Homo-oligomer: A and B are copies of this chain.
Amino acid sequence: MSTFGNYFRVSTYGESHGRSVGCIVDGCPPGLQLTEQDIQPQMTRRRPGQSALTTPRDEKDKVEIQSGTEFGITLGTPIGLKVMNEDQRPHDYSGGGKNIDAFPRPSHADWTYLEKYGVKASSGGGRSSARETIGRVAAGAIAEKYLRVAHGVEIVAFTSSVGPEHLFPATKQYPTASTNPAFLDLIGKVTRDDVDSFLPVRCPDTQVCKNMEELIGEFRDRKDSIGGVVTCVLRNVPSGLGEPCFDKMEAMLAHAMLSIPATKGFEIGSGFGGCEVPGSAHNDAFIKTPAAPPGTLPDGVSAPAKPRLTTKTNNSGGIQGGITNGAPVYFNVAFKPPATIGQAQETAGYDTSVGTLEAKGRHDPCVIPRAVPIVEAMAALVVMDALMAQSARQATRGLLPQLPETIPLMEQSSNLLSRAS
């Protein structure tokens, strides 16, 4: 369905050619300062055609809050969000465009939507259009604001590969990025500003970024396309989040990421590479949490204390047994090459007859850079929902009497409930 989350629940709507796209965010904590200015930046980051962020005031994809706030404060009631569509006309059947209508586009959703719904939106991708992600990004920006203000959570995604060009290729010494100190160093401090200083590719390394840009250019020139990987890190996520057994943190992240259009894979922590590392090297030994935690909090934020233990290495990606342990959470998301290409493709039509399909106009040869804010948004939604579930548990537990001393290894955990003002 088009609803995500149980406590912090997002419902989206919208096709590419209807009046508007948008969402309802239900369950947002009341008392959060929130205006359109908190949401717009991520909307703008996901827009197409941003070779640089120089446009002083981008009027496109402008989000409007319909409800749920007053005087810039959330009321705790559903927040309605809306973005107008520019082109609201459904496809015109009377004239041309015959060819594209006769053929389901290969590796697009045309054919399967028709199999599923028995009726097909005339226009572009309809509901399967990338425009659907606007609602996700808007909702994610709200979750992210809460997480940042209340817990100092920082969510940063970046391009880590385009085709065969990798930011951290596997080596003999470092079979996975999780074992590579340079990678761990990067995810410990990279910011969105860093990432956006590498526009348009959003890969935070000058040389690799340049290589990727050239590679994308080659594919553009060939009227072809190429995929890649987005890596995302979440710092300062409180420990204890994730709801086993089915709604483990990595399971919800995987669900969220694979729901983004054009995704093909998900890895948490050491990922597929971790299968090849012996357990003795893969296990993350515990150490006492250093006094000054890595990752400084933003101004004015006073997050709950870190847990007493952390791990020396982080092949776990900040999650053990489906539950966050306070270390940085990081994961990879694979995106396939865009299906729309300028090259002619032989394929079959709805009537099974064979023909040739050729997309007109300019097409994006690589979606990875634009996927960055979408990945961040979905990550924020997952963490926010898990946070509320855990908050309910801790708050209800906190009212129970202390248990007798005879029960071993028990402590009144309350990392989520206090605010050091």
Contacts and interface: CB of A to CB of B under 8 A. Distances in A.
Contact of A400 (B75, B149, B350): B149
12 contacts: A3-B9, A6-B6, A9-B11, A11-B78, A31-B400, A73-B407, A76-B117, A101-B408, A111-B286, A120-B408, A279-B338, A300-B401
A221 to B, nearest CB: 12
A79 interface: yes
A96 to B, nearest CB: 14
- With a 10 A CB-CB cut-off, give which of A241, A338, A399 has the most chain B CB atoms: A399
B348 A285 contact: yes
B149 A227 contact: no
- With a 10 A CB-CB cut-off, give which of A241, A266, A316, A387 has the most chain B CB atoms: A266
A150 interface: yes
B396 A118 contact: no
Nearest to A252: B255
Interface residues on A, range: 35 or more
Given A127-B75, A227-B277, A30 B150 contact: no
A65 to B, nearest CB: 7
A41 interface: no
A274 B336 contact: yes
Contacts of A30: 117-119, 393, 397
A409 interface: yes
A29 B393 contact: yes
A67 to B, nearest CB: 4
A271 interface: yes
A277 B337 contact: yes
Contact of A266 (B6, B24, B71, B258): B258
Interface in A218-267: 219, 222, 224-229, 239-248, 250-259, 261, 263-267
Contact of A275 (B246, B316, B334, B402): B334
Contact of A417 (B27, B78, B398, B410): B398
Given A31-B397, A110-B321, 12 more contacts: A31-B119, A70-B121, A107-B315, A128-B244, A128-B321, A149-B400, A163-B276, A222-B280, A226-B275, A229-B272, A275-B336, A283-B345
B14 A66 contact: yes
A71 to B, nearest CB: 6
Nearest to A103: B286
Contact of A71 (B242, B394, B407): B407
Contacts of A19: 64-67, 80
A292 to B, nearest CB: 16
B388 A396 contact: yes
Given A71-B90, A265-B268, A274-B334, A126 B77 contact: yes
Contact of A3 (B11, B343, B397): B11
Interface string A351-387: 0101000000000010000000000000000000001
Given A66-B19, A80-B22, A255-B252, A111 B309 contact: yes
A196 interface: no
A416 interface: yes
A114 B283 contact: no
A86 to B, nearest CB: 14
A18 B268 contact: no
